[in-house]
Structure 1
Amino acid sequence: MRILHLLASPFWSGPAENVALLAQAQRALGHEVTVAVDRKRRDIAAEEPAVPRFQQLGLLDEGGLTLSVKSPPWELWSDLRALRRRTVDVVHAHFTHDHLVARWGTPKGSVRIRSIHAPRSLRASLPEAAAYTVPAGHLVSKLEGRQRPVQVLPALVDPMFKPPEDRKALRRTLGLEDTHLVGMISTFQQSRRHALGVEAFAAFHRQRPEARLVLVGDGALLEATRTQVKERGLTEQVTFAGYQQGADFAKWLQALDEVWILGLGNDWSARAAAQARACSVRVVAVNEGALPELADARMEAPTVEAVVAAALSGATAGTRHPANEHIARDILALYQQATEPRR
């Protein structure tokens, strides 16, 4: 099967890693797979660019698509023509811009699939597709009225996320104390609720004085969070690890006892929770996206009291997350179902 993923983003963030892992798993099953990304926006110093990553993985599509929301009408028209000339079996669109391009540019004989990665994309103007994926089970019903196959696309996890061989030694190499480590591992932005996390940790620390908080990431609210930590008198108990990627990020995650995921960004598959579970790190999370399906302890409302109660509960989940190969096979089956005549 020849599969073209469309991902109109220049960033290695949000759904990009999930798309890459899905494409790799599909390729490992014997299919021809490439990923087209935004080739126009290059001034993206604040985040890691996607093009080098997809190049390194051998997945970057070189079919001439610009695929950018910043494209003027003539470039959009050029993308439509370039896509129509492609010889592929599946066009799998991931963002709204991709879906619009695919709506008018899908080659004759190809099937068009759309992945929804966040609820804001679920609107009446959503273009038609032969099948859809959503990031969490509770969103399936939102598309049932379209009378097309709908399937959950869970978070895929890179094999580097696994339990550490020696957590104590790993902590030593990272300069961390060998004590109870709580982490938050996301961009410092409003939706991730770092302010709530710091307040909750202040309350948690009063009951677990040996606990330490590790904040991994960067972003617009980093300095505001530093100030909050200082004002709460937690400077000695909080480590700012900075932005980490690849194997370095995996090491920081492996060093933790638990992560608090208090909000999601533009990828509701809750990949960070799946990565943490793969590293045998306990997950305490809010009730958003796929987090309820991945959390060991969850809270219905994002409050200090709820976070502390969930963290202190000691609850653990017995469910196992599906392997990447299993997820890829399910999505390939969805493609096949989408090609079947409607009854």
Structure 2
Amino acid sequence: MTEQSPFRLLYLLTEPFGTGGVQSDMKSLGPHFVKNGHEVFIACPTGDQLELLQKGGVVHIPFDVHFKTPGQFQECKKRLRDLIQTIRPTVLAPQSIRSSWLCHAAAKDLPIPRITTIHNIHTPFNSLWAGFLLNKCSDAVVFESEHEHHRLTKLGLDPKKTTVIPSGIDTTTFYPIERSQALWKSIPGLSEHSVIFGCVARLSPEKAHSDLLKAFFEVRKEIPESRLILVGDGPLKDSLIHQTKSLGLEPFVHFAGQQSAIREYVSLFDVFVLASTRESLPRAAREAMACGKPIIATRVGATREVVHHGKSGLLVPPGNPAKLAKAMISLGSDPKTREDMTSLSLELIRKRFSLDIWLSENEALYKKASSGNLAGSLP
């Protein structure tokens, strides 16, 4: 097999194929590889985004990697082994520590390279043993952020096995557009004087929408014409709506729910706000930057690699609604600074988060692995 030969890639995902950063990556990478003549299989639980994946020629295989007992682990290992022997991939690409462990158990005696991608490790305890496990289970480890890369190499992961390839943003999908007038008119209470803060994120605990609502309560005192638009759905929706009513913010907060026309919603925002208590390399913030929006985000995970404080946006401590409110008031009342940050955001997306570079570097790595040239190929 030569380096230019097509590869047969088997991705293994932990979560269902719905909305999420990992799934968004797969929707870009998988069809791109198929278009370039490779075969791509994704094994994971089913989800509501599968149709978009399959339209790109990617084959989905229902597979659940969750296990709690040794017996369940052995059963899961056997099913994966059978799947590998049926598909005969030239590269295995687990997308989490759990799936990497399972791939190793199922295929450690097979001559198939295993390349693990680490998107994020939210639990500090998991980080303590992740380096040891990845040393044993993976031939190479791809990180999307310098933050996670530094954390795990410091905890024992062999740097020679690692590389950092930040996921790219599709600037043919996310780019600055004029405000969607139809959407603007469909949201009650907006006027030409409104200052719009917005967030696109799942309504779940780690996104800390409750802190955002508390901050917005204070923002309203200083910027009465401010409004907040929340795009997304999730388990905290009812409690967040209740909190909105309790704070007297119901006329000024719009819950848009899950949406596909993200760019159109972002076109309404003056400032994108992310109040998360944990993040990896936040895709929603980078998509908003590609749309020309300044960002306010919490200083967690790899957000510092996305938001350059004072240049493309502002960073604040997590879990601190008062400081979040101060940052929102600062940018909300300063159109000139917002305009300056827009150009810097677009430049950062072009230089650091190029879709073409991300796709080509991933493809080159899988080609090398598939043709037996992985050793010594990582920077």
**TMscore range, shorter length:** 0.7 to 0.9
Which one of the candidate residues 103, 108, 116 is aligned to 2:118? 116
Mapping 1:126-165, distance limit 5 Å:
126-127=133-134, 128-144=137-153, 145-158=157-170, 159-165=172-178
Structure 1 unaligned segments of length 5 or more: list them: 43-47
Report the equivalent of 1:45.
none
Pair 25,57 (structure 1): closer, same or farther in 2 beyond 3 Å: closer
The CA distance in 2 between the partners of 1:140 and 1:206, in whole Å, is 42
Q: Tell whether 2:13 aligns with 1:7.
A: yes
* Offset of residue 142 of structure 1: 2.9
Q: Give yes or no for contact 2:196–2:271 (8 Å, CA) kept in 1.
A: yes
Q: What residue in structure 1 maps to residue 3 of structure 2?
A: none
Tell me how far 1:221 sits from its aligned partner: 1.6
Of 220-229 and 166-175, more deviation after overlay is shown by: 166-175
Distance 1:22 1:36 in 2: 11
Deviation per CA, 1:192-225, whole angstroms, max 9, x where unpaired?
A: 1111101111111211111101112222221221
In the alignment, is the contact (CA less than 8 A) between 1:4 and 1:34 conserved in 2? yes
Matches within 5 A, 1:1-343: 1-2=6-7, 3-14=9-20, 15-28=22-35, 30-39=36-45, 49-61=48-60, 66-69=63-66, 72=72, 73-106=74-107, 108-119=110-121, 120=123, 121-124=126-129, 126-127=133-134, 128-144=137-153, 145-158=157-170, 159-174=172-187, 177-178=190-191, 179-244=194-259, 246=260, 248-263=261-276, 268-295=280-307, 296-311=313-328, 312-313=330-331, 314=337, 316=341, 317-318=344-345, 319-321=347-349, 322-335=353-366, 339-342=373-376
Q: Which amino acid aligns with 1:55?
A: Q
Q: What is the percent sequence identity of the aligned residues?
A: 20
Q: Distance in 2 between matches of 1:234 and 1:93?
A: 44
Q: Distance between the aligned counterparts of 2:169 and 2:189, measured in 1?
A: 25
Deviation, 1:327, is 0.5
Equivalent residues of 1:67, 1:79 under 8 A apart: no
1:69-107 CA-to-partner distances (Å, cap 9, x unmatched) read 259443530221321454333211102342123213348
Does the 8 Å CA contact 1:135/1:290 hold for their aligned counterparts? no
**Counterparts of 2:361 and 2:189, CA distance in 1:** 40
CA distance in 2, matches of 1:174, 1:35: 41
> Which residue type is aligned with residue 177 of structure 1?
L
Once residues 286 and 214 of structure 1 are traced to their aligned partners in structure 2, the CA distance between those partners, rounded to angstroms, is: 18
**8 A contact 1:143–1:150 mirrored in 2:** no
Greater Cα shift, 270-279 or 81-90? 81-90
Question: Normalization by structure 1: what TM-score?
Answer: 0.84
RMSD in angstroms over aligned alpha carbons? Answer: 2.8
* CA deviation map 1:39-77 (0-9, x unaligned): 4xx6xxxxx534334223321245xx6343259443530
User: Structure 1 runs of 4+ off > 6 angstroms?
Assistant: none
Contact 2:226 2:252 in 1 (8 A): yes
User: Which digits, 9 at most, give the CA deviation of each residue in 1:259-279, with x for residues without a partner?
Assistant: 2111166x7221111111122
Q: Which amino acid aligns with 1:188?
A: L
Q: Distance in 2 between matches of 1:330 and 1:87?
A: 23
Does the aligned pair in 2 maintain the 1:287–1:300 contact within 8 Å? yes
Q: Output the amino acid matched with 1:310.
A: A
Q: TM-score, normalised by structure 2?
A: 0.77
Cα distance 1:307–1:188, how it changes in 2: closer, same or farther (>3 A)?
Answer: same
Counterparts of 2:296 and 2:160, CA distance in 1? 34
Q: What is the CA distance between 1:332 and its match in structure 2? A: 3.0
CA 1:264/1:275 → structure 2, altered by over 3 Å: closer, same or farther? Answer: farther
In the alignment, is the contact (CA less than 8 A) between 1:66 and 1:75 conserved in 2?
no
1 or 2, which has the higher helix percentage? 2
Contact 1:36 1:67 in 2 (8 A): no
Change (3 A) 1:176 1:160: farther
Secondary structure of the residue aligned to 2:230 is: strand
CA shift for structure 1 position 153: 3.7
Change (3 A) 1:341 1:162: closer
Aligned residues: 330
Structure 1 distance, partners of 2:64, 2:17, is: 13
In the alignment, the residues of structure 1 paired with residue 249 and residue 60 of structure 2 have an alpha-carbon distance, to the nearest angstrom, of 47
More deviation, 114-123/212-221 = 114-123
Aligned-pair CA distance for 1:236: 1.2
